[in-house]
Amino acid sequence: MNHVQAIRARLDEHQLDAILLTHQANRFYATGFMSSGTDGAALITPRKAFYFTDSRYTEAAGKRLSGVFDMGTVTAKRNYETLFNEVIASEQLRRVGFEDASMTVAGYRKYKERLNCELVPASDILKELRQVKDADEIRALTDAQRIAEKALLEILNDIRPGAAEREIAAKLQYLMLHYGAEDKSFDPIVVSGANGSLPHGVPTERAIQDGEFVTMDFGCVCHGYCSDMTRTVAVGHVTDEMRRIYDTVLSAQLTGIETARAGVTGKDVDAAARDVITKAGYGEYFAHSFGHGVGVEIHEYPNASSLNEKPLPAGAVISAEPGIYIPGKLGVRIEDVIVITETGRENLMKAPKELLIL
């Protein structure tokens, strides 16, 4: 899939003759071709689309982009700036948008000095477009979610007293690749017992023990799109307090999900879930937002946070992940990924959420 036409349709309203895309995620969104880091650039005009990369990617890019993009190969004698200037001249480009939100200062200075055009900040074009997913994107996100769920179902067999957090994290990565993932969305978080109070804790050699929670936050990439999920399970048994905290988090998540629909602000979704946790007496232990956008990148717009006073658009895909984290004691987080619709939301997650005691 590519989004050339959608990007092209935005050029006029921003008074641009073209847009230059160098950021990895935006390049992929525009072209449907993945290359790492800074190894590639797309230039989209009202009439044509160009893709430039070096010899490591030209064959693969040509197979993927043929018929839509004019290709160019970067060499020692013909660098990116040279290729851009050739298009600028042939297409008579004067105002070219660039990704001011992601381009480095050094990169901007280089292009400003060497390109024969005016560079205009244009990150908002891709930000706005990527907030709303089309049917192909939602299918890719769903496929990534199914892979992660298969990994979860299998890893439950390995969670037992004596197993190390790092062991579980490594196995999750293997299982996702085994079931068809292209990569992980992010380094898996596997934390147990007191380590669970660290929302983004790094897995350690700590051995899982009887009578404690294990929180697993993980996801994978499929067709270039990310999945993201968190499940907290208990080992052996739970105390009344542990069950109360788990039930509070689950109730908060369900309330936030029920509140989410097109036209409701991210702030209001966050507040609905936060109110449940606050009324239960754990408000001080929920410090992060209810959720974030998920797509080509694991964190993108829009956010369901107290800072987002904009209405969520139909087609947005966001995580739903409230948590309670009591320092030095325990943590619980439950996370699904939902699609915002005009009338409500669709939960892409199929994995159950009732408290599981292994």
Higher pLDDT, 38 or 283: 283
Closest listed residue to residue 107, CA positions, set 46, 8, 37: 37
Query: Does a cis peptide bond (omega within 30 degrees of 0) precede residue 302?
Result: yes
213 with 340, same domain: the answer is: yes
**pLDDT (0 to 100) of residue 1:** 86
Reported as a single tens digit per residue, the pLDDT across 61-83 is 999 998 999 999 999 999 999 99
Could you tell me if residue 115 is inside a domain?
A: yes
- Per-residue pLDDT band for 280 (boundaries 50, 70, 90) equals very high
3-state secondary structure at position 29: helix
As a whole number, mean pLDDT of residues 176-188 equals 98
As a whole number, mean pLDDT of residues 132-150 equals 98
First to last CA, the chain: 41
**pLDDT (0 to 100) of residue 105:** 96
- Per-residue pLDDT band for 246 (boundaries 50, 70, 90) equals very high
Given 130, 162, 178, the domain boundary residue is 130
117 with 145, same domain: the answer is: no
| Number of domains the chain contains | 2
Q: Is the pLDDT of residue 219 over 90?
A: yes
Q: Distance between CA atoms of 280 and 283, rounded to whole angstroms?
A: 8
Q: Distance between CA atoms of 24 and 33, rounded to whole angstroms?
A: 10
| Domain CATH code at residue 52 | 3.40.350.10
123 with 162, same domain: the answer is: no
Q: Is the pLDDT of residue 92 over 90?
A: yes
90 with 182, same domain: the answer is: no
204 with 258, same domain: the answer is: yes
Burial class (CB in 10 A: 0-12, 13-18, 19+), 90: exposed
The length of the chain is: 358
Question: Which residues does 240 contact at the CB level (< 8 Å), separation at least 6?
Answer: none
As a whole number, mean pLDDT of residues 87-109 equals 97
Q: Is the pLDDT of residue 112 over 90?
A: yes
- Per-residue pLDDT band for 37 (boundaries 50, 70, 90) equals confident
199 with 112, same domain: the answer is: no
Instruction: Look over the chain and give the mean of its residue pLDDT values, rounded to a whole number.
Output: 97
Could you tell me if residue 59 is inside a domain?
A: yes
159 with 34, same domain: the answer is: no
Estimate the crossing angle of helix 80-90 against helix 105-114, to 10 degrees.
50
Q: Distance between CA atoms of 192 and 204, rounded to whole angstroms?
A: 10
Q: Distance between CA atoms of 31 and 20, rounded to whole angstroms?
A: 12
Reported as a single tens digit per residue, the pLDDT across 330-353 is 999 999 999 999 999 999 999 999
122 with 168, same domain: the answer is: no
Could you tell me if residue 352 is inside a domain?
A: no
As a whole number, mean pLDDT of residues 143-172 equals 98
CA distances from 144 to 135, 180, 198, 263, 274 (A): 14, 9, 26, 27, 28
**pLDDT (0 to 100) of residue 101:** 96
Given 130, 146, 170, the domain boundary residue is 130
Given 102, 130, 158, the domain boundary residue is 130
110 with 153, same domain: the answer is: no
92 with 188, same domain: the answer is: no
- Per-residue pLDDT band for 35 (boundaries 50, 70, 90) equals confident
Q: Phi-psi category of 148—alpha, beta or left, where left has phi over 0 and alpha has psi -120 to 50?
A: alpha
Could you tell me if residue 358 is inside a domain?
A: no
Could you tell me if residue 356 is inside a domain?
A: no
Q: Is the pLDDT of residue 36 over 90?
A: no
Decide: 220 and 176 in contact? Cβ < 8 Å.
yes
Q: Distance between CA atoms of 147 and 181, rounded to whole angstroms?
A: 7
Could you write out the DSSP letters of every residue in 286-323?
--S-SEEE-SSSSSEEEEESTT--SBPPTT-EEEE--E
Closest listed residue to residue 44, CA positions, set 64, 29, 57: 29
Could you tell me if residue 357 is inside a domain?
A: no
Higher pLDDT, 245 or 38: 245
**pLDDT (0 to 100) of residue 85:** 97
pTM: 0.95
115 with 223, same domain: the answer is: no
Residue range of the domain that includes 43: 4-130
| Domain CATH code at residue 342 | 3.90.230.10
125 with 187, same domain: the answer is: no
- Per-residue pLDDT band for 38 (boundaries 50, 70, 90) equals confident
